[in-house]
Structure formats: C-alpha cells, structure tokens
Structure 1
Amino acid sequence: MTKKYYLQPVFSILIVGCGLSGLASALALAQAGHRVIVFERSIELQEIGAGIQLSPNATRLLRHWGILEEVLKYADRPEAGTFRSYKGGVLSRSPPVSDLRLVSDTPYVVIHRADLLRALLSGTEKHKIDVKLGSEVKEIDFNKPSLRLSTGESYEADMILGADGERSHCRSSLLGRPDPPYSPGDVVYRISVPTKDINERHLAWDLKTRSSVNFWMGSGGHVVSYLIQHDILNMVLIYAEGTSGKAIYGPQRADLEEFRSKISDWDPVLHALINVEGSICTKWTLFQIHEPAQWRHESGRFLLIGDAAHAILPCLAQGAAQAFEDAGVLGSIFSQSVERDQIPDAFRVFEEVRKPRASDVRHRTLDQKAMFALADGAIQEERDAKLRAGADFELFKWLWEYDATASGRKAWKEFAETHEEEVKSQNGT
C-alpha cells in the first residue's frame, strides 16, 4: 500500500503596517512557512518613542521566533522593580522583574524602540520577508482579497492583515466609516536623561548604577523610569490633563518647566533628574480606540491585529506584548494543517482566543491607571496597604505566564478535532 503525505498549503499574506505588530506577525507567519509582504507608507522606518518594557509573555515569543538573543544585545535586564509614593517612599518591590517564579524561563527587559525594531528587522532578512517602504495602501478589496497602493499597483493574496496602528485606515475601511482614536485627556511627558554626568553625589546615582524599573504614584498621574541604551534614563509621566487642550499626535518638544509643574511636590530625585544637563522633554497625547465588535471581515480573508484592533494605554506596559501575542497565536494556528478554505475558520478561532484576552488586558490597564493616580486619602492608603502585602503578584502572574503560541496551537487543534468529528457524523461514518 502506498502511503500518502499531505503537505500544508503555503499561503500568500499581505500585511499593512510595518510597526511592531506587523513585523512580529510577519516573522511568525514566515516561520510557519508562508510568503509574506509587508507594506509601509513611510519611506523609512522610524519607531516613535524611546523606551519600551517587554515582559515575559513578550520575550517568550521573541525567543520562539529566534530573535531574543538579538534583542538582548541592546536591552537592559532590570535587577529590581519598585512602586513608590510620589514622595519617594518604596511601597513594594514590584513589578517583580527579577522574581524567578515569573521570569525563570524568559526575562523581563527594557529596550529602546529603535533597537527592538532593528532586531525584528533582522528576522525579516532571515525569513526573506519582503518589506515595501513608501507604499501607501489606498484601497482594500476584502473579498478577493487584494489591495491597491497610491501608485496604482495592486496585490492579491490568500489573506490580508491590517496592522496600521491606532489611527488605522484599515479599521475605518472595515467598518465602512471613519473611526479615529479619541483622547480621554491623558498626556505623556517623556524626559531622556543622559547619565554620563550623574556621579555618586547625585540623588539619582542608584538609578544610574542599578538597572531597575521604578514607579512613582501621585494625584493625577504617575512617573516611571528605567535605563535604555545603558546610558539614558527614560523618565515618563502619564498625567490626566483634561480634554480642553489641543491633541498632540506623536512626540513634540516640550518645556521642562511644564513637566516640573505637574510634579512640583514629588520626590526630589525626580527634580534632580530634570536638572541634569542635556535632558530633553517631549510631550504627546494618549489615544484610545473603541473596541471593534469584530476584527475580521465577513469574507474571512481580512483581519485587524495589534493597535488597529485593540490599542491600549501604556499603564501595564502591555502594548507591544499584546501585539506579539496576536502574532504568536496567528503563527501557531498557521503552522498547523490549515486548508485554504479553512482560512475563515482560522481567523475566527484566532479572534475567539485573542479578543477576550486583549479586552481583559485593556480593562485591567484602565484599572491600573486609576490606581496609579489616586489622590491622598483613605482609598490611597488602602491601595498602599495592598501593595505592601503583595496583592499585585497575581496580576503579573496572569499577564506574564501567558503562552500565546500554546494557546493558538491548542485552540486550532480543538477546532480541527471537532470539525473532523462533525464531518464523520455527516458522512455517517
């Protein structure tokens, strides 16, 4: 008897957007054996921002895609994490960035966004992913599926992923109406502090010499700081400024005194950092999106991912991690036996796995933002007592132990087994 072998189909995949979500999904799907083209409207890749935190649920995926070692060339691995009152007193040794119960197999790291982007791009070269810069997508045909560029060029494929961020053209096209993000009134101030002139007499000497993630919590907002590129302290204030001001899209230069005015009675260490020569302050508006009821088109050949589907505030440091989780689930589903006519099923299973998790993370992020910004009083004292007792450990455990690859693999396997049983039942076998 001749034994028959069935090869998994190789799919052609178009991805709109070459940020963290688009690149991670390209890596995951190319690693699974598929042909991927990524379209980016910018003529060069520039990741907005400075520092980014990557928790174990993100670095676990980087390791799976074979680029964690490249990331670690540029990253700092914090030795400690703290939550502090705005006055400076340590409330808890959290986030638990060095707790071996959570980071024994994959590390918690902090890295400059440009360095992370560089590491992801190194993976595109390895997997021969075609990245087309200066390629603005003007129109998407969800049924074919195909897309048309501003140059008039058209591309057709087995599936299209919309990974073009919170201000997503793809999301508006899917919904059939403009769907811009909205501002709830939160702004970000970021100061990049060069550490070369911080000596042992400086109040921030410990922050320079020991890699750590530190939060200060006060009325209206919170500050976080950590080292990036080994010689810059990334210092970020997220503050509820109200909706009356003009929205700022992307970092723009801001006055250091404006930053200082928001934290006038906060920890002297923060003011000492503001005073370091060469410190540069930028400011921008934080945006949220309304959660789409569905991420996929009814044709089953188009899917929103990353910030285009579920943009969240940075208060749990999960923005990149959630984009990577999308990629991890996609890659694990499409590394298994998926037939061409099962792509709609695969997208539905993906959404069933990812949508509840992403929604939970979004709501817990909003809870964390509110918890960080409490004014002095009874509720703040209750929060501090809970932090001292380690009440947040279960939150980080839930976040960081999640394995997106395993979740996707399990979900598709269960679908395939159920589908096979249904077919046998229909055939009377």
Structure 2
Amino acid sequence: MHKGQIPHPTRSHESAKKATLQIRFVIVGGGASGLSCAVALRRVGHHVIVLEKGPDFIGPSKNRGIRMSPNMTKVFNYWGMRDKVDEIGIVTDRVIMSRLETAYLLGIHCWEHEMLQEAGGEFIAICHGDLRDMLLETARELGAETRTNAEVVEIAEDCRSVRLASGEVLKADIIIGADGSQGICRALVVPQDPPKTTGIMLFNSVIPADRIYADPELRSLVEQEQVSQWAWFGHERASVCFPIGPSKDLAWYFFVRDQGAQEGWNDVLTPEQFAPYVSDSEPRLQKLARLARPNRVRMMQRDFPESWVHDSDRLVVVGSAAHPWPPGVIYGPSMSLEDASVLAKLFSHLRNEEQIPSFLYAFQNLREERCQKNRELDIGNVQFMMEPEGEGTAQRDTMMRTKHDQGRNVLAGDDEDSNVAQWDQNRELFAYDAEDEADNWWVQWGLLQERSKASTHEDIGMFSLDISVGIS
C-alpha cells in the first residue's frame, strides 16, 4: 500500500475553527509532545510560546526510529501536513514475523486496505528527530514563539507565570506541562512518583543504510518488493527493525528481560558489550549487533496522576508528563499527538475564561482511559513476542505458520486464537478520531453547560429586575 492509495482527509490550518477568545499558552518542554501542542493550538488561533531548557530542539531522540500508526498519521492528514510527513517518512506495507533463534518464518501480515481506509491513516516509519524538526518548523510557520536555553525553575502558585533560570518571568493564561515524566510540571501534580519496571530492557539503535546495503544478507531487510517491518519472536527476547524515511536507515530494537540499566538514553554500549545479548540469535541479528552502538534503556513506567490538572485550574500535563510511556513501543508518540489534537479542539470553543476549568478536566476525561488501555496493550504486544518457551508459544507459532501456509494474514481471521484477539485490539485503537471525540464532548456536554450558565444568568437578571421593581 503506497502513497496515494488511501484517501487523506485534510482540515487545513486556514479552515480550522478559530477560538472566539484567544489566550496565551506557555508550553514547558520542546519535545514532540510540546511542539504538537504548539501546532494544534496555533491552528485554532491561540498565542503560544514553547520553552525548551536545552540549547536546541534536537535532544537525545535524533537517533531513534518510531512507527507511526494510522491513528497518528490520520492527525497529520487532518492538519494538512501529509506532504511534510512523506518527505521524511516511509509508508510500510506489512510485518514479517520469524523466530529469533532460527529465522524460521512464522508468517506475514499485510495491512488491509479496508482497515486503513476506516482508520484514515497509514503505517509510516520515521526518525524521531525528523518528526521533532517537522513539528518545530510547522509551529514556527504558524506563528508560535519558540525559545531554547529557557529552563523553567519555578511556577507561580496560581500557575499564571513561570520563572526561568535566567530570572526572566513569563506570564501565562494556561501552562501546559510537556516536560516529561521527571519534569517540574508533573512534580506539581504528582509529588511522589517512583518508577516501576515493566520487566523489560531495551537496546535501541539506528544503523546507516550504507552499512546495511554493504552486506547482501542484511540488504534483504530494506530491499523488499513491499516495504516491511521485521519482528522476531524469541524465548524471553524479541526484536523489531524497520527502515526509516527515504534514506532507509534501519531502526532496530532488541528486547530482553530487565537486568538493570539506566532509565534514560545515556547508556551507550559498544558492539562488544552488546554481543552477548544476541549471541544465539539468527545470523542477521548477530550481524546487526556488530554494526550497532545501541542505547540500553530500562523500560520503566509510572502511575497516571489522579488529576492531570493543577488545583489552580491553570496548568495541565500532557504527553509523557501525564501518561508516561515506556520507550521502544509503538503508541506513545501517537497518544501525545492525540493529546494535542483533543486539547486544541476543546479550546477552539473558548469564549470566556470561565470555560477553562471545564475544558481542562474534559481533556483528562477524554484521554485518560484510552491512554491507560493502550499503554497496557503496547507493553502486552512486546510481552506477547517474548513469552518463554512452552506449550502456549508452540501453539501460537503453529497457528501463525498454518495461516501463512494457507496464504492468509497471520493476525487475521474469525477464530478465537489469542493472536487475532491481540490484533483486534490494535484495530480498535487505529479507528479512533481525536478531534471527533472532542467534538462529541462539546455537543453532548459543553454546549449544555453553556446553555445552563446562560439560563442561570437570565434568571438572576429577572430576579434583580423583580427586586428593583418592588423597591421602586
């Protein structure tokens, strides 16, 4: 399935509904989550300043690949950004699944045209740094102010201003905390927040295309008739690789049971240090290990805050500050983009400041359950691939291979096996439309609240008139 085959609905920046009351948002954090909010809020007319504490907007994510699922690419389609996405991403057509130890083919799953049409998006692989650059460029084009070396060290008690390390104070109508799971904004809504391990450790690397093409055996990973993601199922290990962007550099993830590592992205291994983890894997994976200098990261998770909104009703956390996502899985970036889409859609209806608290709490109500469910699904997908050897995994592998031998998609069908149940949950995730969810809330609840307030004001006005008539 390639560019042009799936219709891409667009809602251009010019056609986006502009808020009647346009206010000032200060976004703390210049990662993909904060920049997505900047784009979304500028589309609906609000004033935006993005504060990045680092010297640039590159961060540690430049050398990382992500798989954008249809629910994520759909948002870019709506925002009229698909041409930009196509410049830096590559549409993937299928997943090839094998055994990690032997390269035994379990089967292939091609993305179904009907499912992609229903979802309104496609699977696109991209470099995380390129995604961030694209969002930064678009935010600036739309008029957002962006600042680097702008570390926020203090937030006012009423959350109407922030103080930078330089001493400068910036005023805000609303503060958006997009500074991650260990940022100052999350600490305001979750004072005690110990991380918990998922039981999985990740090795992450991006290998330049020229090194892949230099080896005929590895070249097959990027030179396929259909652009492919590769997934290996192993005993307490799993691996995924996929080309990212037109260059076809290869993003590679390798998962093992948690053996202790850093939570951040700063633990870099040499090929010699990495080799023991991959020593009894199939030959292609061992070759990739000799080319890689991977980051080793513990896949940690934190609880969701009880409230994503500060008591002042003027600060809200989004992205990984609201729903921390383990690295290396699929849906974290899409949840952050959906956050931005929902938040901006709600604030496109802003007419007066009295609406602000209801919009912020509506945002959490619309997002919390979906993020919780999809985080569990995301971690479950990895655990599904790295289940220990046993009767259950033998049945899983046999069912997948049987479907493949019958010429069927290995995760499709109408039977009750666990593979299909797992895939059905993913399909449900893809069909979600963030802007529609926000619109539905406005029609069902937001307008009712406004009418109720208007009715109350009218009653108060009539009551005041009665009193004045009686006094006269």
TM-score (norm 1): 0.90
- In 1, Cα distance between the equivalents of 2:157 and 2:339? 20
Q: How does 1:23-62 map to 2 (within 5 A)?
A: 23-49=35-61, 50-62=64-76
- Distance in 2 between the 1:148 and 1:380 partners? 54
Distance 2:176 2:423 in 1: 35
**C-alpha displacement at 1:171, in angstroms?**
0.9
Find 1:77's aligned residue among 81, 91, 96: 91
Give 5+ residue unaligned stretches, structure 1. Answer: 1-5
Task: Select the structure of larger CA radius of gyration.
Answer: 2
Contact 2:265 2:295 survives alignment (8 Å): no
Whole-Å Cα distance in 1 between the matches of residues 282 and 298 of structure 2? Answer: 24
Structural RMSD (CA): 2.4
Q: Secondary structure at the match of 1:364?
A: helix
Deviation of 1:315 (Å): 5.7
1:28-427 aligned within 5 A: 28-49=40-61, 50-86=64-100, 87-94=102-109, 96=110, 98-104=111-117, 105-175=120-190, 177-179=191-193, 181-198=195-212, 202-210=216-224, 211-229=227-245, 230-242=247-259, 245-247=260-262, 249-276=264-291, 279-314=292-327, 316-384=329-397, 388=410, 390=412, 391=420, 392-423=422-453, 426=456
Residue 425 of structure 1 and its aligned partner are, at CA, apart by: 6.2
Match for 2:433: what amino acid?
D
The CA distance in 2 between the partners of 1:314 and 1:91, in whole Å, is: 26
Retained in 2: the 8 A contact 1:18–1:39? yes
Q: CA deviation at 1:354?
A: 0.3
Name the SS for the 1:330 alignment partner.
helix
Q: Contact 1:47 / 1:113 at 8 angstroms: preserved in 2?
A: no
* Matches of 1:350 and 1:134, distance apart in 2: 30
Q: Report what 1:9 is aligned to.
A: 21
Partner Cα separation in structure 1 for residue 29 and residue 215 of structure 2: 46
State the Cα distance separating 1:7 from its structure 2 match: 7.2
Q: Residues 83 and 179 of structure 1: is their aligned pair in 2 closer, same or farther, counting only changes over 3 Å?
A: same
Letter matched to residue 323 of structure 2: H
Q: Can you list the C-alpha shifts for 1:335-362, whole angstroms capped at 9, x where unaligned?
A: 2244211100001111110011111111
CA contact (8 A) 2:69 2:124 kept: yes
Q: Could you tell me how far 1:301 is from its partner in structure 2? A: 1.2
Once the two structures are superposed, residues 110-130 of structure 1 have per-residue CA deviations (whole angstroms, 9 ceiling, x without a partner) of 111121111111111211100
Sequence identity percentage:
25
Return the TM-score normalized by structure 2.
0.82
Shift in Å, 1:138: 0.9
C-alpha distance after superposition, 1:383-426 (max 9, x if no partner): 33565353043122111111111111211222223214534665
Change (3 A) 1:190 1:420: closer
In the alignment, the residues of structure 1 paired with residue 214 and residue 42 of structure 2 have an alpha-carbon distance, to the nearest angstrom, of 49
Instruction: Indicate the residue corresponding to 1:3 in structure 2.
Output: none
Q: Paired residues, what number?
A: 417
Q: After alignment, is 401-410 or 201-210 more displaced?
A: 201-210
> What amino acid is aligned across from residue 40 of structure 1 in structure 2?
E
Paired letter, 1:287: M
8 Å CA contact 1:15–1:37 kept in 2: the answer is: yes
Retained in 2: the 8 A contact 1:147–1:156? Answer: yes
1:315/1:368 contact within 8 Å kept: no
Shift of 1:71: 1.9
Structure 2 Cα separation of the partners of residues 310 and 386 of structure 1:
35
